Amino acid sequence: MNGLMMQKQLLISSLIVHADRHHGDTEIVSRRVEGDIHRYTFRDCHGRARQMASALTRLGVKHSDRIGTLAWNGYRHLELYFGVSGMGAILHTINPRLHEDQVAYIANHAEDQYIFFDLTFLSLIKAVAGRCETVKAFIAMTDRAHMPKDAGIDNLLCYEDLVQQGSSEYAWPILDEDAASTLCYTSGTTGNPKGALYSHRSSLLHTYAAALPDALNCSARDVILPVVPMFHVNAWGLPYIACMVGAKLVFPGPALDGKSLYELLETEQITLSAGVPTVWQGLLGHLEETGQQFSSMRRTIIGGAACPPAMLRKFQETYGVAVLHAWGMTELSPIGTVGTMKAKHLEMSPAERYAMQSKQGRVVFGVDMKIVGTDGMELPWDGATSGDLLVRGPWVVRDYFRNEGDGPLLVDREGQAWFPTGDVATLDVDGFMQITDRSKDVIKSGGEWIGSIDLENIAMGHPAVSMAACIAARHPKWDERPLLIVVRKTGTELSREQLLGFYEGKIAKWWTPDDVVFIDTIPLGATGKIQKNRLREQFGNHLMAKAAG
């Protein structure tokens, strides 16, 4: 017998409809690429999102068409979050920090029909436009007065013109909640970037769960500043959460330095912010220099990379800001765990509590996790034994978009499918997860991925290199940076500068390794694979030691 409750599809458009109806006068404030501050309300945003959906329909955009964005956090990007997904098309947020070859690869793999871009990325668009095979037009996210002159791009449209052509009477279609809504590529594994394809249902379930008190604890009394980019897993879901709970939203645009962020935190009276540790280092540095304090910020979500214990203490002890240490992945929409204390932890000494908070936290309801050994058997939750971290849940990927190989899931002895995260972790009796290592071969620098294999392949292309390995070395500012370890061919000369110069033009500049260590032999395992863990043990602190002089 079925229950007798109504069937209502869980749709992304319902979030902005709700925000308009119940929080219509709540503000959305954006620092614009044009330089000024823009203010409007959820009601205005809803009207313009409908105009955009209507304009896209007139352009011939159909259900499931992919629409790309190369954009900062701002109100126009937010309008596309609802305009594109709401009409049944798929919003594909592209990371503009990637090398132009990767951007072109991703746009072609996704078969983007249109690409919206902030003016900051005009030169990137110029570089890739001729290579984006399926794109019918590029849309500059600005008004007529700021449109680039003689850009040399065929089919260049103006965002504000497009909005004006749409109708704010547009009615959101009732879609199947399992329909795809959003596409986000990650380079978090080796090989080409892979697309996590979220659905309306997975996004809505994630929004409900992430807003809970023991997760991000968001309400209509909050003013939220997502510093984490909207091209990084939907700014961790905060734009959707703000609509669901009616929180004021503040977008920093391209200005992510400590001074600009502090200005916005104070003028808009932010209560909750979110970002990777590197961003907060800039902000804390600015506060230290100026001796300023926060007058309204109560909580900050730190994730994407491990939150350094010193940062935790600084926020909490010097500035009275509670840190929510969170862990997630693009493949998890992204939230998996948040480090919120249980009642019994409140009795702990400050030192013990800091140790708990340094862990990545416990799951939000919906996500299930376990750690397994190399034999696939589950390991104990004793806070000491570490194993490969597996997850499952309704907002965890089951496959990548247009994946030509085997799907990513593992099936355990009970026949249950799990997503292997590539993280190695412990779980304690209270379910707090702590990341101890990473089995995937990548480097995370300032919250962004760098592919070690790509860097090794380039080095191996140099005629004087016999063998090359690239590892994630700890770095005081960026958390991790690539360190190249090289064996020279006998009888050849090769300097650090020559090898680093060899990378020029082949990768994004910020992917260039920080240093090169020349050694005689690279340790190999039984199957001939480079033993990266041994190299990490030996050279993992190389850059820290160098920075300390």
Please give the positions annotated as active site: 186, 331, 444, 449
The answer to whether 202 and 115 have CB atoms below 8 angstroms apart is: no
Exposure on the CB side of residue 321, measured as CA atoms within 13 A: 26
Q: Cis bond leading into 334, ω under 30°?
A: yes
* Nearer residue to ligand AMP within complex by CB, 65 or 423: 423
* Cβ contacts of 29 within 8 Å, gap of 6 or more: 37, 38, 39, 248, 249, 250, 251, 264, 268
Q: How far is the CB of 306 from ligand AMP (least distance, A)?
A: 4
Tell whether residue 315 is a contact of ligand AMP (CB under 6 A): no
Rounded to an integer, what distance in angstroms lies between the CA atom of residue 34 and that of residue 361? 39
Contact flags string 213-242 toward ligand AMP, x per CB under 6 A: --------------------x---------
Closest to ligand AMP by CB, 51 vs 217, is: 217
Q: Which of 244, 219, 197 is nearest to 14 (CA)?
A: 244
Give the range of 172-180, 257-265, 300-308, 364-372 binding ligand AMP by CB under 6 A. Answer: 300-308
Asked if 140 and 159 touch (Cβ cutoff 8 Å), the reply is: yes
Collapse the DSSP code of 499 into the 3-class scheme (helix H, G, I; strand E, B; otherwise coil) and give the result. Answer: helix
d(C-alpha 45, C-alpha 28), whole Å? 8
Pick the closer one to ligand AMP by CB: 88 or 334: 334
- Site string (426-445) toward ligand AMP, x via CB under 6 A: ---------x--x-----x-
Interatomic CA distance for residues 95 and 233, integer angstroms: 10
| Span from 165-173, 325-333, 351-359, 522-530 in contact with ligand AMP (CB under 6 A) | 325-333
Q: Which is nearer to ligand AMP, 146 or 474 (CB)?
A: 474
189 binds ligand AMP (CB under 6 A): no
Calculate the alpha carbon distances from 28 to 135, 268, 358, 548 in Å: 30, 10, 33, 43
Strands 417-427 and 410-411: antiparallel
Show the binding pattern over residues 142-181: x = contacts ligand AMP (CB under 6 A), - = does not.
Answer: ----------------------------------------
Position among 83, 88, 96, 188 found at the interface with ligand AMP (CB under 6 A): 188
Q: Which of these segments, 83-91, 326-334, 502-510, 515-523, binds ligand AMP (CB under 6 A)?
A: 326-334
Going from the C-alpha of 106 to that of each of 184, 231, 237, 238, 326, the distances in angstroms are 10, 13, 22, 24, 28
Tokens for 100, please give them: 């132009």
Q: Is 486 in the site for ligand AMP (CB under 6 A)?
A: no
Task: Output 14 or 217, the one with its CB closest to ligand AMP.
Answer: 217
- 3-state DSSP assignment of residue 94: coil
**Binding to ligand AMP by residue 423, rule CB under 6 A?**
yes
Task: State yes or no: residue 186 binds ligand AMP (CB under 6 A).
Answer: yes
Considering only residues 332 to 371 of the shown chain, the ones binding ligand AMP according to CB under 6 A are 334, 360
The token pair at 381 is 């939750």
Q: Which residues sit at the interface with ligand AMP, rule CB under 6 A?
A: 186, 188, 233, 303-306, 325-330, 334, 360, 421-423, 435, 438, 444, 449
